[in-house]
Amino acid sequence: MKILVTGGCGFIGTNFILYILKKYKDYKIINLDKLTYAGNPENLKAIENDPRYKFIKGDICDKELVNKLMQEVDAVIHFAAESHVDRSILNADEFIKTNVLGTKVLLDAALNNNKKRFHHISTDEVYGSIKEGKFRETTPYNPKSPYAASKAEADQLVKSYYKTYGLPITISNCSNNYGPYQFPEKLIPLFVTNLIEGKKLPIYGQGTNVRDWIHVDDHNEAVDLIFHKGKIGETYCIGGNCELKNLEITKLILEEFNLEEDQIEFVKDRKGHDFRYAIDFTKINKELGWSPKHNFEEGLKTTIQWYKENEEWWKPLKSKVIPNITRKQNG
pLDDT tens digits, 167-200 = 999 999 999 999 999 999 899 999 999 999 999 9
Q: Is 307 a catalytic residue?
A: no
Could you say which of 59, 124, 217, 243 is catalytic? 124
Domains observed in the chain = 2-177+213-238 (3.40.50.720), 184-211+243-275+296-325 (3.90.25.10)
pLDDT tens sequence across 32-50: 999 998 899 999 999 999 9
326 has a pLDDT exceeding 50: no
Range in 78-82, 106-110, 117-121, 324-328 with the lowest mean pLDDT: 324-328
Q: Is 311 a catalytic residue?
A: no
Could you say which of 147, 162, 204, 277 is catalytic? 147
Decide: 2 and 73 in contact? Cβ < 8 Å: yes
Q: How long a stretch of residues is the chain?
A: 331
Could you say which of 33, 59, 125, 212 is catalytic? 125
Task: Give the pLDDT score at 112.
Answer: 98
Task: Give the pLDDT score at 63.
Answer: 98
Rounded to an integer, the average pLDDT of 53-81 is 98
Q: Is 124 a catalytic residue?
A: yes
The CB density around residue 164, as the number of other CB atoms within 10 Å, is: 9
pLDDT tens sequence across 203-231: 988 788 899 999 999 999 999 999 999 99
